[in-house]
């Protein structure tokens, strides 16, 4: 028992004070540091490279006023004048997919021979197909005079230089790709320069019959956008060819609507690091999640895009005509804006429906469903616009039939489905029983434009937790991977 009169050792007292001080200090640091560790970004090793170093350097503009004195009566005359100074451009264009509208043959699973496929011979669920409808569809062809199956793809005179290089208001394309009446070809030829967003947009923003119809992330708002429409084009004034880099008139970029392989694709990582974030937790997503999934949270931000097209209602005189709801020649539509994408694993390719393939009789026929899956380390979760439609098919042979729409015998002229379908089958080489109906189809369009500023990218709770936008089980997870673990944790793919 301690003596009540005992005075504690001074050194022992100091030790106790130091112990209490350290315990208090540790407690304070825990209170301060734990939230910091949780909420402050974890720094990724290494500084990111400069994306600007990957943007092509443009040649200075040459005034063509004196070089193209004119007068030019036809587009072909302009082309011949262009090729006098750019002799290699003609041969380049003859082999470009913007001119041929078909890719080189590629081997496809389940097909005995390599398949040559492109816009030229595909079927879609918008205006359905080019074959037989050449005068209308080739309004957007980089050539002149493609009015039927006999178009000469070997003649350099048939190349349209102006569609990509004209910077004036004096030129526009009409049926078969020829200049519309009233075009001033001399003014247009003298105005030529590097392609602008407007040049590309004349076709790519207007595909499917109007502004924003097809893609959802491409429309006229991208001609003069602000950064809240697209940060690359609005804030930094990038043009299409800054990303879709061009060499020998081969413009890089592809879409599964008209391509079967990835040979010409472009990627965010052409300019940006594969691990671009300062926060290592965000970088941990990039092996499984496409950049666009977080950085394009919505599409059709201002102008509407077509989401549904029902050809079965076409031909009625009793339904009021309206561009966004019903046209007699096309049927019924539904448009939407500020659309949340649908999500799927994708390896960059698609299982493409080819003319003559059987339809899916148990549900909608997917025309280009993305390939890939959770167990494929080369696949990522991508955002898509899915365009849904009802379109004609042969009820006996169970195949889609592409009708003739334009010109003599076309549906847009006579509103006669039996004749239009018979003629379309003859042109495309399909057997047609003469019996038809309308069937549901889905078409997938990858969303990759309308990239938002970093502060508008999806946050954690946009995908994870209650109210997140993903259907995790449909993507192959047992539940939200924030709780159940990612595909590496689950042993579905190997770790790095």
pLDDT band for position 59 (cuts 50, 70, 90): confident
**Cα gap 477→284, rounded to integer Å:** 17
Q: How far is CA 196 from CA 52, 143, 166, 241, 251, in A?
A: 19, 18, 9, 8, 14
Give CA angle at 127 (125, 129), nearest 5°: 85
Higher pLDDT among residues 153 and 51, named by residue:
153
Report if residue 466 sits inside a domain. no
Give the residue-averaged pLDDT of 387-403.
98
What is the distance between the alpha carbons of residues 490 and 488, in angstroms, rounded to a whole number? Answer: 5
In a domain, 228, yes or no: yes
Q: Residues in the chain, how many?
A: 496
Q: How many angstroms separate the CA atoms of 191 and 63, rounded?
A: 8
Quickly state the pLDDT bin for 15 (edges 50, 70, 90).
low
Could you tell me if residue 78 is inside a domain? no
Structural domain contains residue 56:
no
Model confidence at 4: pLDDT above 50: no
Is residue 337 in a domain?
yes
* pLDDT at residue 32, as a whole number: 53
- Distance, in Å, from the CA atom of 309 to the CA atom of 335, rounded to the nearest integer, reads 9
Residue 119, pLDDT above cutoff 50: yes
Is the predicted pLDDT of residue 22 greater than 90, yes or no? Answer: no
Q: What is the pLDDT of residues 419-436, one digit of tens each?
A: 999 999 999 999 999 999
**Residue 341 binned pLDDT confidence (cut-offs 50, 70, 90):** very high
> Which range has the worst mean pLDDT, 26-40, 67-81, 269-283, 314-328?
26-40
Helix axes 75-85, 87-94, angle to 10 degrees: 120
For 97, the token pair is 């997919």
**DSSP structural state of residue 6:** P
How far, in Å, CA of 133 to CA of 176, rounded? 10
Q: What confidence tier does 30 reach under pLDDT thresholds 50, 70, 90?
A: very low
Res 11 pLDDT > 60: no
No. of helices (H) and no. of strands (E), the chain: 16, 12
Confidence of residue 226 (pLDDT cuts 50, 70, 90): very high
**Is the per-residue pLDDT at 28 higher than 70?**
no
The DSSP secondary-structure symbol of 249 reads T
The verdict on residue 279 lying in a domain is: yes
Tens of pLDDT, residue by residue over 453-462, are: 999 999 999 9
Average pLDDT rounded to a whole number, residues 271-289: 94
Q: What is the largest CA-CA distance in the chain?
A: 121
Residue 5: pLDDT above 90? no
pLDDT at res. 339: 99
Q: Is residue 225 part of a domain?
A: yes
User: Over 50: is that where the pLDDT of 164 sits?
Assistant: yes
When divided into structural domains, the chain yields a total of 1
The answer, yes or no, to whether residue 411 has pLDDT greater than 90, is: yes
Domain residue limits at 357 = 102-140+194-458
Contacts of 347 (CB under 8 A, 6+ apart): 370, 371, 372, 376, 378, 379
pLDDT at position 47 over 50:
no
| Mean pLDDT over each residue of the chain, to the nearest integer | 92
The whole-number pLDDT of residue 110 equals 84
Q: Return the minimum-mean-pLDDT range out of 3-17, 275-289, 395-409.
A: 3-17
Compute the Cα dihedral for 232, 233, 236, 239 and give only its sign: positive
Whether residue 97 is contained in a domain is answered as no
């Amino acid at each position: 028992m301690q003596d009540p009169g005992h005075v504690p050792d001074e050194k022992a007292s100091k030790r106790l004070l130091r112990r209490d001080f350290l315990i208090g200090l540790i407690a304070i640091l825990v209170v301060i540091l734990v939230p910091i560790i949780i909420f402050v970004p974890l720094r990724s090793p290494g500084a990111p490279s400069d994306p600007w170093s990957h943007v092509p350097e443009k040649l200075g503009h040459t005034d063509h006023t004196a070089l193209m004195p004119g007068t030019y009566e036809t587009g072909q005359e302009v082309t011949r004048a262009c090729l006098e100074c750019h002799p290699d451009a003609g041969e380049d264009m003859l082999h470009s997919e913007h001119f041929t509208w078909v890719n080189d043959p590629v081997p496809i699973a389940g097909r005995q021979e390599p398949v040559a496929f492109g816009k030229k011979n595909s079927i879609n669920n918008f205006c359905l197909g080019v074959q037989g409808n050449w005068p209308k569809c080739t309004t957007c062809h980089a050539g002149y005079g493609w009015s039927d199956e006999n178009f000469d793809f070997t003649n350099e005179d048939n190349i349209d230089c102006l569609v990509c290089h004209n910077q004036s208001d004096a030129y526009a394309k009409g049926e078969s790709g020829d200049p519309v009446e009233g075009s001033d070809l001399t003014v247009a030829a003298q105005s030529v320069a590097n392609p602008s967003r407007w040049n590309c947009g004349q076709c790519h923003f207007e595909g499917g019959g109007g502004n924003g119809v097809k893609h959802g992330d491409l429309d006229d708002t991208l001609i003069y956008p602000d950064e809240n429409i697209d940060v690359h084009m609005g804030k930094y004034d990038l043009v299409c060819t800054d990303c879709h880099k061009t060499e020998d008139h081969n413009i890089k970029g592809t879409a599964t609507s008209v391509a079967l392989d990835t040979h010409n694709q472009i990627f965010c990582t052409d300019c940006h690091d594969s691990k671009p974030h300062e926060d290592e937790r965000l970088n941990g997503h990039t092996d499984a999640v496409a950049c666009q999934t977080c950085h394009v949270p919505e599409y059709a931000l201002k102008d509407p895009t077509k989401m549904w097209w029902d050809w079965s209602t076409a031909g009625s005189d009793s339904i009021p005509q309206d561009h966004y709801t019903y046209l007699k020649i096309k049927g019924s539509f539904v448009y939407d804006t500020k659309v949340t994408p649908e999500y799927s694993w994708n390896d960059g390719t698609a299982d493409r429906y080819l003319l003559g393939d059987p339809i899916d009789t148990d549900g909608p026929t997917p025309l280009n469903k993305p390939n890939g899956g959770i167990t494929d380390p080369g696949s990522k979760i991508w955002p898509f616009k899915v365009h849904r439609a009802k379109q004609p098919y042969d009820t006996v042979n169970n195949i889609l039939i592409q009708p003739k729409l334009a010109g003599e015998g076309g549906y847009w002229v006579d509103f006669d489905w039996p004749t239009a379908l018979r003629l379309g089958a003859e042109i495309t080489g399909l057997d047609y029983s003469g019996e038809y109906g309308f069937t549901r189809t889905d078409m997938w369009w990858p969303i990759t434009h309308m990239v938002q500023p970093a502060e508008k990218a999806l946050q954690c709770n946009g995908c994870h937790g209650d109210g997140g936008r993903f259907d995790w089980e449909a993507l192959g997870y047992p539940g939200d991977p924030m709780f159940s673990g990612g595909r590496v944790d689950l042993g579905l793919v190997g770790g790095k």
